[in-house]
Amino acid sequence: MSKFMSERFASLKAYVPGEQPRDKSYIKLNTNESPYPPAPQVIEAVNSREIEDLRLYSDPECKHLREALAKQYDVTPKNVTVGNGSDEILSFAFMAFCSRGVSYPDISYGFYPVFADIHGIPKKEISLQEDFTISAEDYYNAGTAVVIANPNAPTGICLSAADVEKIVKSNPDNVVMIDEAYIDFGGESCIPLISKYDNLLIIQTYSKSRSLAGGRLGYAIGNEELIADLDKLRYSTNPYNVNRLTLAAGQAALEGQAYYDNNNREIICIREYTSNILLGLGFSMTESKANFIFAKHPKLNGKTLYKGLRDRGILVRHFDKPRIEDYVRISIGTREQMDTLLMTLKEMLA
Amino acid sequence: MSKFMSERFASLKAYVPGEQPRDKSYIKLNTNESPYPPAPQVIEAVNSREIEDLRLYSDPECKHLREALAKQYDVTPKNVTVGNGSDEILSFAFMAFCSRGVSYPDISYGFYPVFADIHGIPKKEISLQEDFTISAEDYYNAGTAVVIANPNAPTGICLSAADVEKIVKSNPDNVVMIDEAYIDFGGESCIPLISKYDNLLIIQTYSKSRSLAGGRLGYAIGNEELIADLDKLRYSTNPYNVNRLTLAAGQAALEGQAYYDNNNREIICIREYTSNILLGLGFSMTESKANFIFAKHPKLNGKTLYKGLRDRGILVRHFDKPRIEDYVRISIGTREQMDTLLMTLKEMLA
């Protein structure tokens, strides 16, 4: 740290993203990207006319995209705001709504404590149950804002919308943020609840189920006033936060929703297929409703699995953290990629 | 504001960007965009292969782009970081380096007070001289961080590198941020000074001289330690802050530097041409080294000029602020656009 840096960041520990190798020699199952390209509509929308128009600023209001998202989710454009990835939206939401602190599961998206720390927010980490499920009751009357990834990461385990509703209902004075990054792989979205509760904020992303991780596009859906608050922070840091090509891609992606729905069904199938074979190899795993599997093996600890796979050209994610150090998180790739993974694991176990 | 929003943002006033009409019926001279499209290399780089790769996250390290920028400016990659527009970089720099407050000219980029307010930073606004120039001495031993747009906006007036150096030298315990958004239109960059001073941070953007306002790409150049501090904040809010297509565009743009150099020379010519005719029409103006003219007329006040031009299909920017309310800021468009502007002004004055 330089001598000029504000002291309040002295103990801040930045988020460590999964490895992003620049070559393509790995089978990359470590950051939950989609194995499929964006919808044909996206490829068409980002054309040379759009690229020429890059000389002009993007629409700070993101009007057309908001309208399209509102239509998709049966809300109004005033219930939607968009960001440079859902990380940016989460950062704004932490700034805006967590002045009394924030509660979240001790095993969850590793960025939550970082957002809390950078914005000087008191943290309350709540232990997952022994089986890695979230007990909804633990979040009743939290006395702080709440953020829950649903499905949770890296476990993939999903709360029912009914359980989420109980949490939201019991915290009328605090915002409950539900991070639905992985909701399209078998979970039940809580977007329909936003008309009923003014303290519910849903955050979603184009990174996983819409094959646009590299386009950086996330959005929040909630009560008009919550959205206006987020927009105030957006306009006070970076009003043109979503670039032109990503705005075009995001809108076109919604037109290609049937393509994505099909991909997501396929990913669910491959998840179940892979899980079954892993079980046969002696692995155990959580019940994932996400585009990844969270698994461990009695004979190979997490680090050994991670390293062994990496040496053999397959990247998965390992978290060196109590209770989950024995696990690896494996993103769902194509059927062929998963077959290579399974064969490699068989060899490693032999 | 919702009842959930942190009280500390109650008095925050968000930045108001220039109008961004979604149709193209206006001659748009209000947000200092380039009238020319991005370099042919950019159009080529953002191809369908790149769009297919959007399923993958962007490189959080932005390695190739940093290397290319380092080469361009004769520094090392560790002296460079990149952001989602220079606004994002400025926001990080305010967070990081302004714990003792920040000094800046009272007439300058309207975002500086917003960044200060959102991050809870004490502000010291220093008056421009009567003729709108910055007196370098006013910033000696400031006792706070300093941010100066050079050339300044909306005046276009430029400090010499020698004057900037004096400011930097006299503030060894505080960071001096020089926002060189408009430096390529006739000013002298202070990048060569970064090897001499550990407290100098230069911020530049692709939005103006590289025709990529809608791509959202800015960068900071400075001492390794300052850059590492900014990256710590970047990795603590949004590690994938620059999307894949913009990374590709940013790198390709540097390969098209000759094209941009030519455009910038052309813009300077058109600025001088337009200024001369405006003088003949009775306007007076500052000595702009930017891609805009800051002008007033004894017979038409700023608001009347702005409204009259808007009614006639030409957008310029007017700031309803003491001392500059009589002025309009006119971005430099193509020669044809400026001829239309001049003809329109002639009619309005007749």
Q: What is the pLDDT of residue B264?
A: 98
Q: What is the pLDDT of residue B25?
A: 85
pLDDT band at B19 (very low <50, low <70, confident <90, very high): confident
> What is the average per-residue pLDDT within A149-168?
98
Instruction: Identify the bridge partners of residue B222 per DSSP, sorted by sequence position.
Output: B201
> What is the average per-residue pLDDT within B257-268?
98
Q: What is the pLDDT of residue A17?
A: 86
Residue B85 has pLDDT above 80, yes or no: yes
Residue A136 has pLDDT above 80, yes or no: yes
Mean pLDDT across chain B: 97
> What is the average per-residue pLDDT within B298-326?
96
CA distance B287 to A200: 53
Q: What percent of chain B has a predicted confidence (pLDDT) above 70?
A: 99
Domain(s) labelled CATH 3.90.1150.10 in chain B stretch across: 18-37+258-349
Partner-chain contact A59 B20, CB within 8 Å: yes
Closest-CA residue of B relative to A55 is B211
Q: What is the pLDDT of residue B21?
A: 74
pLDDT by residue (tens digit) across B27-84? 999 999 999 999 999 999 999 899 999 999 999 999 999 999 999 999 999 999 999 9
pTM for the model: 0.97
Closest-CA residue of B relative to A93 is B5
From chain B, pick out residues whose CB is under 8 angstroms from the CB of A114.
236
Judge whether B47 is closer than 8 Å to chain A, CB to CB.
no
Size of interface A-B (CB pairs under 8 A): 287
> Among all chains, which residue has been given the structure tokens 């698994």?
A295
pLDDT band at B22 (very low <50, low <70, confident <90, very high): low
pLDDT band at B20 (very low <50, low <70, confident <90, very high): confident
Partner-chain contact B214 A58, CB within 8 Å: yes
Q: What is the pLDDT of residue B290?
A: 98
Judge whether B77 is closer than 8 Å to chain A, CB to CB.
no
> Among all chains, which residue has been given the structure tokens 């900037």?
B164
From chain B, pick out residues whose CB is under 8 angstroms from the CB of A225.
1-2
CATH classification code of A18-37+258-349: 3.90.1150.10
CB atoms within 10 A of CB A274: 23
Q: Which of A5, A52, A87 sits opposite B229 (nearest CB)?
A: A5
Q: Which of A57, A175, A237 sits opposite B31 (nearest CB)?
A: A57
CA distance A207 to A28: 15
In sequence order, what are the residues at sequence separation of 6 or more whose Cβ sits closer than 8 angstroms to the Cβ of residue B215? A54, A243, A244, A245, B38, B206, B245, B246, B249, B250
How is domain B40-255 classified at the architecture level of CATH? 3-Layer(aba) Sandwich (3.40)
> What is the average per-residue pLDDT within B225-247?
97
For A129-135, the CB contacts below 8 A with 24+ separation are A132/A107, A132/A157, A132/A286, A133/A157, A134/A105, A134/A159, A134/A163
pLDDT by residue (tens digit) across A278-289? 999 999 999 999
Q: What is the pLDDT of residue A25?
A: 85
pLDDT band at A24 (very low <50, low <70, confident <90, very high): low
Residue A12 has pLDDT above 90, yes or no: yes
pLDDT by residue (tens digit) across A49-62? 999 999 999 999 99
Residue A342 has pLDDT above 70, yes or no: yes
pLDDT by residue (tens digit) across A181-218? 999 999 999 999 999 999 999 999 999 999 999 999 99
Q: What is the pLDDT of residue B24?
A: 67
Judge whether B228 is closer than 8 Å to chain A, CB to CB.
yes
From chain A, pick out residues whose CB is under 8 angstroms from the CB of B48.
43
For A247, the token pair is 């705005």
Domain(s) labelled CATH 3.40.640.10 in chain B stretch across: 40-255
In sequence order, what are the residues at sequence separation of 6 or more whose Cβ sits closer than 8 angstroms to the Cβ of residue A205? A85, A86, A181, A217, A218, A219
How far does A349 lie from chain B, in Å, by closest CA? 30
pLDDT by residue (tens digit) across B189-202? 999 999 999 999 99
* DSSP of A57-89: PP-TT-HHHHHHHHHHHTS-GGGEEEESSHHHH
Judge whether A209 is closer than 8 Å to chain B, CB to CB.
no
ipTM comes to 0.96
> CA of A195: how far to CAs of A68, A188, A190, A203, A291, in Å?
18, 16, 10, 15, 28
Mean pLDDT across chain A: 97
Q: What is the pLDDT of residue A22?
A: 67
Closest-CA residue of B relative to A216 is B243
Which of B4, B109, B231, B337 should we substitute to test contact with A (largest number of A Cβ atoms within 10 Å)? B4
> What is the average per-residue pLDDT within A266-274?
98
Partner-chain contact A56 B236, CB within 8 Å: no
> What is the average per-residue pLDDT within A319-342?
97
Chain B, residues 144-183, CB within 8 A of chain A, namely: 145, 173-175
Which residue, among A205, A142, A207, has the nearest Cα to A176 in the 3D structure?
A142
CA distance B171 to B169: 6
Partner-chain contact A238 B52, CB within 8 Å: no
From chain A, pick out residues whose CB is under 8 angstroms from the CB of B97.
4-6
Partner-chain contact A5 B48, CB within 8 Å: no
Q: What is the pLDDT of residue B17?
A: 86
Which of B23, B54, B92 should we substitute to test contact with A (largest number of A Cβ atoms within 10 Å)? B54
Q: What is the pLDDT of residue A21?
A: 74
Residue B118 has pLDDT above 90, yes or no: yes
Judge whether B318 is closer than 8 Å to chain A, CB to CB.
no
From chain A, pick out residues whose CB is under 8 angstroms from the CB of B17.
57, 60, 235, 239-240
